[in-house]
Amino acid sequence: MTTAIGTDRAEIRHELSTTGYDLLVIGGGILGTSVTWMAAQAGLRVAMVDAGDFAGATSSASSKLVHGGLRYLQTGNVKLVAENHRERRALAGDIAPHLVKPLTFLVPIYKGGPHGAAKLGAGVFLYSALSVFGDGMGKVITPHQALAKVPALRTEGLRAAAVYGDHQMNDSRVAVMTVRAAVDAGATVLNHAEVVGLRTTGGSVTGADLRDRLGGAEFGVSARLVLNATGPWVDHLRRMEDPDAAPSIRLSKGAHLVMRRHEPWKAALTTPIDKYRVSFAIPWEDHLLLGTTDEAYEGDPGLVGATEADITQILDEAGHSVRDSQLRREDITYAFAGLRVLPGGPGEVTAAKRETVLTRGAGGMLSVAGGKWTTYRHIGRHVFDTLAHLPGRPLGDDLADILPAVPLPGLASPDAVAMRLWTDRDPSARMDPLVARHLASHYGSIAFDLARLIREDPALGERIHPDGPDIWAQVVYARDHEWAATVDDVVRRRTTLTVRGLDTPEIRTRIAGLLA
């Protein structure tokens, strides 16, 4: 097996244990990856480790939205919505147009529903105004027009629908591309490497001792500053630094379902459930994504999953606006759950502010939690600025300015890439247009690297499962260039096999063989 520079685990362990780093980031979710990317852009020697896979927990269990947050208008947070829109447009326009795509949303207005047409019409108009009408003007349409966009829409009692524009993505793919961007900028990263202890010098945290979960090898990393970005596990690591550390966060569980779709949808649904909560029904990866729930979670973060009660609740809430024929249990291909990390405190989790929590421990370790995909670059930069200006300047004074809009690897027009992939070969050996479109919208111009693999070994151009667009070249590429080390890394986060319900035992065995 040929391994690309940067993904050979023994080599990375050696590099981690023999280099003195400026910053060690523990946790490779949204926050950790973003801060690592920013620190590398500023010219620091930065390392990032994760006990599981990159974005292996909450960060790949989102609603797959890059959005302004229409519901924040309900709480009067106009500034937050404007900020979200700014980042959303940067991602869709300059940073990752190959991974983030526009999507129209409808808010159905039913007789007796929590919001009337006048209020929602004003809401979507303000929402689109805050995005400087970049996605068209929010408006109200008739039931007949709404049905043309969403054929499975429930029409009983439907008075109208409000329309607005947002964006969506595949969060796992954006995460992998951001890790690549950080490594391209000079970072060293390793997944499946668990912190077993913190290193201290004179009472200050100066690194961590780790164990490679895949081979059991033990090694250590030394750094001037350590950032704890372990999400739901943030307090677990804080207690390693100080056994008496008081809890800083609480957790809320959000579950989602993926369903087979019976007909194409031209828009997504945002259905008000009550005054504050909404239910999403979103066309995604040729399927339908439904969710989400929001309830306090006190169990082991590693055991979170969608329960029978979650599934029932999601289907019931989707049923407010989606016909029963599209909500059959046998059409569920995947159910998943993630944990929102919220500031600690009293009250219901549904009312808790979605903000970043930053604390510094007795040994000088910084702990950060919270964050969301839409503003992940902005939050990463904010946290990095905080690190750069700590008392005593542990990261030094000589930091480069971070460029305002460094794109993610593969930046390209997905339509142009798909076109090239499809027309580049002899007509008798052309790539299936669905596969070409899939590769273009998940890799951008990096899809040409996969096309090269197929030219060298045509068997890699075959679909992994006949019912999905993923091909074998993606597995080899994930192994050699995207740090995929376990079958789950491949089927859940480097391809779409699991969400489509296509990761059969035979396919998993064959992938395990390729990874071995």
Backbone angles phi, psi at 442, to 5 degrees: -115, -15
Helix (H) or strand (E) holding 415: helix 414-423
Question: Span 382-405, mean pLDDT?
Answer: 91
Does residue 516 sit in helix, strand or coil?
coil
Indicate the burial class of 398 (C-beta count within 10 angstroms; 0-12, 13-18, 19 or more).
Answer: exposed
* Vertex 356: Cα angle to 253 and 268 (nearest 5): 50
Backbone angles phi, psi at 282, to 5 degrees: -125, 125
pLDDT at position 370 is 86
Contact 342, 352 (CB under 8 A): yes
Contact 14, 217 (CB under 8 A): no
Confidence band (pLDDT; 50, 70, 90) for 77? confident
Contact 234, 361 (CB under 8 A): no
Both structure tokens of 51: 């006990």
Higher pLDDT, 179 or 430: 179
pLDDT at position 352 is 56
Question: Span 271-284, mean pLDDT?
Answer: 90
DSSP 153-186: B--TTEEEEEEEEEEEE-HHHHHHHHHHHHHHTT
Question: Span 374-399, mean pLDDT?
Answer: 92
Closest CA to 472 of 418, 509, 510, 430: 510
Distance CA 354, CA 31 (A): 14
Q: What is the pLDDT of residues 98-122, one digit of tens each?
A: 999 999 999 999 998 767 777 777 7
Does residue 59 surpass a pLDDT of 90?
Answer: yes
pLDDT at position 336 is 97
Distance CA 59, CA 339 (A): 9
The β-bridge relationship of strands 46-49 and 20-26 is: parallel
Higher pLDDT, 452 or 357: 452
Q: What is the pLDDT of residues 334-365, one digit of tens each?
A: 999 999 998 886 666 665 566 788 899 999 99
Distance CA 355, CA 77 (A): 13
Packing angle of the helix pair 447-456, 472-481 (nearest 10 deg): 110
pLDDT at position 5 is 45
Both structure tokens of 335: 């159910």
CA distances from 82 to 67, 75, 126, 130, 323 (A): 11, 14, 10, 5, 34
Task: Record the pTM.
Answer: 0.94
Whole-number average pLDDT of the chain: 92
Does residue 138 surpass a pLDDT of 90?
Answer: no
Does residue 315 surpass a pLDDT of 90?
Answer: yes
Closest CA to 314 of 270, 257, 260, 258: 257
Distance CA 361, CA 416 (A): 50
Backbone angles phi, psi at 158, to 5 degrees: -75, 120
pLDDT at position 277 is 85
Backbone angles phi, psi at 325, to 5 degrees: -60, -20
Residue keyed to tokens 């202890």: 197
Buried b (16+ CB within 10 A) or exposed e, 310-349: bbebbbebbebbbbeebbeeebbbbbbbbbbbbeeeeeee
Q: What is the pLDDT of residues 408-418, one digit of tens each?
A: 999 999 999 99
Does residue 133 surpass a pLDDT of 70?
Answer: no
Contact 265, 149 (CB under 8 A): yes
Contact 120, 71 (CB under 8 A): no
pLDDT at position 2 is 39
Question: Span 245-259, mean pLDDT?
Answer: 95
Both structure tokens of 395: 């990261």
Residue keyed to tokens 């995005």: 131
Does residue 113 sit in helix, strand or coil?
coil
Question: Span 163-167, mean pLDDT?
Answer: 91
pLDDT at position 354 is 63
Among residues of the chain, what percentage have pLDDT more than 90? 78
How many other C-beta atoms can be found within 10 angstroms of the C-beta atom of residue 360? 12
